[in-house]
Amino acid sequence: MALNARTIDETEYFYGHKACAGCGGSLAVRIALKVLGQNAVAVLPAGCMSAVGFNFPQLCFGNNAIISTFAGTASMLTGIEAGLRAQGITDFHAVGFAGDGGTADIGLQALSGAIDRNDDILYICYDNEAYMNTGIQKSSLTPFGARTTTTPAGKNIRGNLRPKKNMFEIVAAHGIPYAATASVGYINDFIRKVEKAKQIRGTKYIHILAPCPTGWGIKTDETVEAAKEVVDCGLWYLAEYENGSFTLNHRPKEFSGVEEYLRKQSRFRHLTDEDIKIIEKSRDAKWEFINKNFN
């Protein structure tokens, strides 16, 4: 039976943490752990969630959790899975929570290796679209046009020049048993995907978009709205990859305004109308691909 607000584990496994008010990443971690339960063993590399969760003696994880090296989230998951299996323990879930930088830049080779070995782990990337923990530097998952401290908006160059790396399809290209995209704006969809991943043996990857009020320049109460709007305007999508094929889970009847979504965030405030047209064009190209290749 699908979990919902009434049937999900009432225990809080990520509590009292020091994340900024309205943090999307902490919402993703909290919900994922509620689905996985107390036998989840969490691995967190350097990033917001380890910085806010382990300030000794304030230890905010209610289950087993450990900080890994920045690049080694997936390797440590592999080790934990093998170690517990060697001890004859079977009732557990090794789960990693890495940010966009820790996944798409620094931890990519370890993740690729784990998928190649098909280790029985769940890797969750909470994507807030920059290195937020260290003060908003560009990662390879920062979208085109976004202002960060390493891609400032000036007269000649207006924010990030490169598009967002397509992590979901990179992971899927390994032939992984299960991969999915999600958004904290559609939390029931995320719950369903974590629940599904929990049942599958082998490597699982979930990429959840988690807005950061501090880095995006939105109000603390707009996190969930922004995460919903980015899906509704077509700049992000909810999909799954399984048995070699892609499935789209949510098709907006009509896209809401890209400009409206962008203008609310101070990281995009400098964009010109032409820049917004470029973003709309790339969205349309992406959806053309989705319509052609996804079920």
Partner 1 sequence: MKPFLREKIPSGFDEIPETTSYEAGYLVTKNAGWRNVRPVIDTQKCVGCLNCYLYCPDGVISRRDGKVEIDYDFCKGCGICKKICRPGAIEMEAEK
Footprint on this chain of partner 1 (rule: CB under 8 A): 5-6, 8, 10-24, 26-27, 30-31, 56-65, 184, 187-188, 213, 219-225
Indicate the residue among 34 and 207 with the shorter CB distance to partner 1: 34
Min. distance of Cβ 232 from partner 1 in angstroms? 16
Min. distance of Cβ 188 from partner 1 in angstroms? 8
Min. distance of Cβ 26 from partner 1 in angstroms? 5
Element of type H or E holding 42: strand 40-44
Min. distance of Cβ 12 from partner 1 in angstroms? 4
Indicate the residue among 18 and 198 with the shorter CB distance to partner 1: 18
- Per-position DSSP letters for 121-146, written without gaps between them: -EEEEEE-SSBTTTT-B--TTSPTT-
Indicate the residue among 115 and 227 with the shorter CB distance to partner 1: 227
CA 170 vs CA 104, 180, 207, 230: distances in Å: 10, 12, 12, 21
Q: Which amino acid is at 85?
A: R
Indicate the residue among 17 and 207 with the shorter CB distance to partner 1: 17
Min. distance of Cβ 62 from partner 1 in angstroms? 4
3-class secondary structure per residue, 203-239: CEEEEEECCCHHHHCCCHHHHHHHHHHHHHCCCCCCE
- Per-position DSSP letters for 54-68, written without gaps between them: EETTEE-BSSEEEE-
Of 100, 60, 71, give the one whose Cα is nearest residue 212. Answer: 100
C-alpha torsion 116→172→28→129, nearest 10: 110
Indicate the residue among 100 and 119 with the shorter CB distance to partner 1: 100
